[in-house]
Amino acid sequence: MNPSVENILQKEYIDKEDIQFLLSLENADSERLFHHAHEVKTAQVGNKVFFRGLIEYSNICTKNCYYCGIRMDNGRYQRYTLSDDEVMEAARYAYEHNFASIVIQSGEQSSKSFTSAIGNLLRKIHAETGGKLHITLSLGEQTEETYKRWYEAGAHRYLLRIEVSNPSLYLKLHPGDNRHTHKARLEALSLLRKTGYQVGTGVMIGLPFQTTADLADDLCFFRDLDIDMVGMGPYIEHEDTPLWEYRNLLPSVAGRVDLSIKMVAILRIIMPDINIAATTAMQTLDPKGREKAIFAGANVIMPNLTPVQYRDNYLLYQNKPNVKDQPDETRKSLEKNIRAAGDEIGYGEWGDSRHFGKRITNDEF
């Protein structure tokens, strides 16, 4: 056992250099990192994993990010938007099966009809469930007014992934126009915090052109922004995107999974009381990827409740697993995996970020 690992893990503050060292660990040292993260998780947030029923509302997107399968210029997908009835059916499933929370996700749109439709859905869901079903939105960059309207309509968490915190790398992954700016992403995160949301973000891991220093900066970025929840996972290439041509620059599949689990573990250690998702992308590259993430510190998982007939048209990356599984199949499989990781499901609990709760309490005094 490398004594440096123990020295770093016992530090009160782990800096960027320490994080880079931890990301380079192998074998027994990696396992020590994962076990330490598991101990921190158990002590700080317990051994419950919270379900967020995922509803992929629409694959219509006004962005052209170079890595994403549903980018605006990809003409190979049939574009769709769920009806209110379809959304409500998925929300009812979550409510009746005691998930306590859902996530409404979509390609990025900001039209008046889109923002109004989301507000109406929020009010319908809250009316039908008596406000007992918590709602997270993941709908991209919006105006401050829109964020406020959705918050007032009943959404209290918002996930807006930065994807990469390095502005130079951001430029390599997005068109260089005013619809794809790093500055706008940061401003949107600030507006979400100002509005009162529990704010989440996240990154892709193992991208072309990405360095270990970039990943260490990503983790420091989460800490510096005092973020409440994080969803991050391995980058998975998609043949219908511009980034496909750089697939020869990618780390191996096993390498991307390993880096992703390390990122989860380190984040749990440096931000011990936030919510961290075990993302589907981890399972895509490793059948036990989500189990590994749960053991290493993740405490949120998102069963897909999107109607099956739409899922093949919401592929942000290739080979997404379980796209044909019915909700009952997904739920039972996740229950088994979570128990295998030594945790239990927090049925009937919102599972709000403890970090958020502490900050709000402190801000009141």
Q: How large a percentage of the chain has pLDDT more than 90?
A: 90
Which pLDDT band, with edges at 50, 70 and 90, does 318 fall under? Answer: confident
CB-CB neighbours of 43 under 10 Å? 10
252-264 pLDDT per residue, tens: 999 999 999 999 9
Cβ neighbours around 275 below 10 Å, total: 25
Q: Give me the pLDDT at residue 337, please.
A: 86
**Residue 335, burial from CB neighbour count under 10 angstroms (0-12, 13-18, 19+):** middle
Query: Could you tell me the residue ranges of all domains in the chain?
Result: 11-363
Segment 325-352 mean pLDDT: 91
Residue range 93-98: mean pLDDT, rounded: 96
* Digit-coded pLDDT (tens) for 12-62: 999 999 999 999 999 999 999 999 999 999 999 999 999 999 999 999 999
For domain 11-363, the CATH superfamily is Aldolase class I (3.20.20.70)
Confidence of residue 3 (pLDDT cuts 50, 70, 90): low
Residue whose structure tokens are 């509302």: 57
CA–CA dist 291, 280 (Å, integer): 11
pLDDT at 340: 84
pLDDT tens digits, residue range 116-164? 999 999 999 999 999 999 999 999 999 999 999 999 999 999 999 999 9
Poorest-pLDDT segment among 103-107, 222-226, 334-338: 334-338
